[in-house]
Amino acid sequence: MILFPEGKPTKRETFDEYRASGGYEALKRNPSPAAILEEVADSGLRGRGGAGYPVGKKWAIAAQTPVTPRYIVCNAGEDEPGSFKDRVLLEHRPHLVLEGMILAARAIPAEHAYLYLNETYHDCFQRFTDAVDEAQGAGLLHSLAVSIHGAPTVYVAGEDSAALEVLEGKPPLPRQKPPYPAAAGLFGKPTVVNNVETFANVPSILRSGAAWFRTHGTAESPGTMIFCLGDEMNHPGAYELPLGSSLRHLYEDVGGGLKEGKKLKAVLPGGPSCAFLPADRIDVPLDPASLQKAGSSLGCGVMRFYSTETCMVEETLRIAQFFARESCGQCPACRMETNMLSTILDRIHQGKGDTTLYHQFQKILDFNRGKGYCALINMPGPPITSAIRLFQDDFNHHLRHGTCPF
């Protein structure tokens, strides 16, 4: 695989081990900024943080914006519930991430790179600090300054512009866009913001070439992705698979199915902002286009699997309450929407109402769509509307009895 030789994290790689496996070879070839931008663009690499924006295009915007200085920000805030892939990458292969950041800095070019790190990731802080010191001692950083900055653990602090606000010493509040960070980011200067997994792909692309990278994954979605499996599975953990692998393969062969032999009822394939899929869609390929066609999205690869013993009203209510709690409050429409959605779901949960409540969700979502500074205002919609559509028996039972059907 591209990120983990064995397809999963198995050992904490040292500086010498990384260099022995080809680490920093791409950097030592001294590629020009134009060569880096071209290779990354040709590879088809897209951001692995959830939005899936073409990396080469983002970097080119920063490089072509005639303003200096420029900055690199590696977003390791990892605020998504159930996600831990950035953490395991930094713990096991910190030099892979660092080399990706150095190459990005050379591409745009930038003189300062930041690791925006979840403030609870103390081991990652030490591992990356040691990696920077080792790279500096080996003369690999040249004039590039690399800093680590703690990221608050609130959900919106992981949004790219909110991360920039924190780096500037301000509260973690998303900015109104445009302008986007690539053109006007940190301190108003061009800034590339990508997540850990995205940067970790870059050294292999520059070392082995875009054509080699495209031998993994699909034509539309080249490369691999790290998928996080939770404790409900027999084999929880972080696993790297080629994009386009089947959901069934991840669920049965890699994850070993649900614990205690429980039967599958539903899948949330990309985090709490994605639409639920029923168990009969288990053969869908794991790539953005296929998931979109199936009615959901790949997100950042956080996989949740629910057994037939799960009440989907309770699960959907938890998601709605999460977004209501994590809304930063600066956008009135978002604050109103997330609280209203949560309140209506709670009424259904308690059996206070009738099926006319189902129609209120879409009206609220349509009224508020696009009115927030960040994407959080759009996030509760897919899980709520899909749960009602797919598992209406659970919702009807709650309306009649005020209790779970199990």
Print the domain residue range for 348: 256-406
Our count of domains for the chain comes to: 2
Please indicate, yes or no, whether residues 317 and 405 belong to a single structural domain of this protein.
Answer: yes
The per-residue pLDDT for range 129-168, each reduced to its tens digit, is: 999 999 999 999 999 999 999 999 999 999 999 999 999 9
The answer, as to whether pTM is greater than 0.85, is yes
Domain endpoint, select from 152, 178, 209: 209
Confirm if 158 and 75 have CB atoms less than 8 A apart. yes
Residue 88 lies inside a defined structural domain of this protein: yes
**How would you write the pLDDT of the chain (406 residues) with one tens digit per residue?**
999 999 999 999 999 999 999 999 999 999 999 999 999 999 999 999 888 899 999 999 999 999 999 999 999 999 889 999 999 999 999 999 999 999 999 999 999 999 999 999 999 999 999 999 999 999 999 999 999 999 999 999 999 999 999 999 999 999 999 999 999 999 999 999 999 999 999 999 999 999 999 999 999 999 999 999 999 999 999 999 999 999 999 999 999 999 999 999 999 999 999 999 999 999 999 999 999 999 999 999 999 999 999 999 999 999 999 999 999 999 999 999 999 999 999 999 999 999 999 999 999 999 988 889 999 999 999 999 999 999 999 999 999 999 998 8
Task: Among 150, 178, 209, identify where a domain stops.
Answer: 209
Residues sharing a CB contact under 8 Å with residue 65, sequence separation 6 or more, in sequence order: 182, 183, 184, 190
Q: Domain for residue 234, yes or no?
A: no
**One domain, residues 162 and 278:** no
- Residue 192, strand partner residues: 72
Same domain, 42 and 191: yes
Q: Is residue 348 part of a domain?
A: yes
3-state SS record for 317-340 = HHHHHHHHHHCCCCCHHHHHHHHH
Q: Does 394 share its domain with 280? A: yes
Q: How far is CA 298 from CA 75, 164, 244, 290, 389, in A?
A: 19, 25, 11, 9, 20
Tell me, yes or no, whether 1 lies in a domain: no
Residue 402, both tokens: 């005020």
Q: Is residue 99 located within the same domain as residue 192?
A: yes
Whether 53 and 149 map to the same domain: the answer is: yes
CATH no. for residue 290?
1.20.1440.230
At which residue do the structure tokens 């296929």 appear?
A: 290
Domain with residue 155: its CATH number is 3.40.50.11540
Domain closes at, from 193, 209, 225: 209
Cβ neighbourhood burial of 42 (10 Å; 0-12, 13-18, 19+):
middle
Asked if 202 and 260 sit in the same domain, the reply is no
